[in-house]
Structure 1
């Protein structure tokens, strides 16, 4: 059923990184008002986007305007998926799995973040890279592509402390076991980054029809992989259940922590 309260401002694609931040803010604020777990990934993603904006302003990237173009194309895929889902339409299968999970009580915050990363990095990032530049210029993008992933990885330490605030026992475990979820996210990020670049290289020379078919196939694979995140076997599910019972705060409070 369509949600008429969902911010209509996100129906129109953003054209600048500032517009992206405004639209992400609208999703975060709507999520807080409606106690929606969609806000977990949106809050983290807004923080990443603000970091990318700062990086562009400080000439961190080789080509600032090109990086803004990539960031906007990339973000619009997520924002449009949110809009489609909340207005009763159907985004890619990977996003459907991530958004469907937000309707359920049991997934822990880390699972919601990983489901979002699966859809957005494993699928959307390669598509965005291929759409940002013509095929002959894709290799020139690789340096900045790797830098944007360094920005993403650089926020993992912050996520670690925020997750420990939501689930205090995690902070204690990290002292004895090392940063458990940091290792998980970094491993996921590294593998996802490499896979996204390979996917961009695959898509870049294809015709529009061939691209659409390749995206459908990749989306199906990533939707299946989301099952591994949601249902990590008997012992994994047992550990997640224990974590979930120990998570503190309301959905709104957790979003505010991730902000």
Structure 2
């Protein structure tokens, strides 16, 4: 498995953490649903790194690890009775709600992680590597392509049967209101904006807080209870 040299966390470490969570959490738990999806993403990225499909292996590993660390920090915050970022709060608050469907949990987690964490992970990676966001664009796009392909698989695995997905089903409307590709594009724009604001810490903090709140609002909408 790919290793990240000169940094405190390796891909092995984040994968091990996610596998441990998968073993610990009840299957229907909303965080467990997202964790399974994200574990598959991380393992897929790692295989592609090992296969040499990223031109800059070090940059790919850095982005992969910095991205995962954001999610795991949110998990740790909840475990330690601290408040996670606003983007993650809806998933942790509704994780056991009986009228929220697995597909909603998966999308809410993906929304929080892509909409907020990915932008900050790009900035974290630029600082670690001493580069500009443009230098990570290829890695960003390739990771995004993997996420899109896995989102399609998630929809196939977690979608209710065709007989349930009638046009009047509220889940149909929720699924149609969110797009991973749009979220990914917005995250890239946010990363570039944050990098441009790095010399203005007050504005950067305000921008980050507003991004966090907006993404959290979208996650809350995705977790609207849908009685059967």
After TM superposition, is the score higher than 0.5? yes
Q: CA deviation at 1:185?
A: 7.9
- Is 1:29 the equivalent of 2:15? no
Asked whether the 8 Å contact 1:118–1:226 carries over to 2, the reply is yes
Q: Say which of 35, 43, 48 aligns to 1:42.
A: 35
Counterpart of 2:65?
72
1:189-212 CA deviation, whole Å, 9 max, x = no partner? 110110000000011131344433
Distance change (3 Å), C-alpha of 1:157 and 1:114 = closer
- Is 1:20 the equivalent of 2:14? yes
Segment of structure 1 superposing worse, 210-219 or 189-198: 210-219
Q: Which consecutive unaligned segments of at least 5 residues does structure 1 have?
A: 1-12, 232-236, 243-259
Distance change (3 Å), C-alpha of 1:136 and 1:14 = closer
Q: Say which of 203, 218, 221 aligns to 2:194.
A: 203
Q: CA deviation at 1:173?
A: 6.3
Q: CA deviation at 1:113?
A: 0.9
Give RMSD over aligned pairs. Answer: 2.7
Distance change (3 Å), C-alpha of 1:136 and 1:25 = closer
Asked whether the 8 Å contact 1:138–1:204 carries over to 2, the reply is yes
Counterpart of 2:134?
139
Distance change (3 Å), C-alpha of 1:209 and 1:15 = farther
Cα distance in 2 for residues equivalent to 1:92 and 1:149: 22
Counterpart of 1:255?
none
Counterpart of 1:149?
144
Asked whether the 8 Å contact 2:34–2:105 carries over to 1, the reply is yes
Q: CA deviation at 1:14?
A: 6.4
- Normalising by structure 1, we get a TM-score of 0.74
Q: CA deviation at 1:99?
A: 0.9
The answer to which structure has the higher helix fraction is 1
Cα distance in 2 for residues equivalent to 1:156 and 1:221: 22
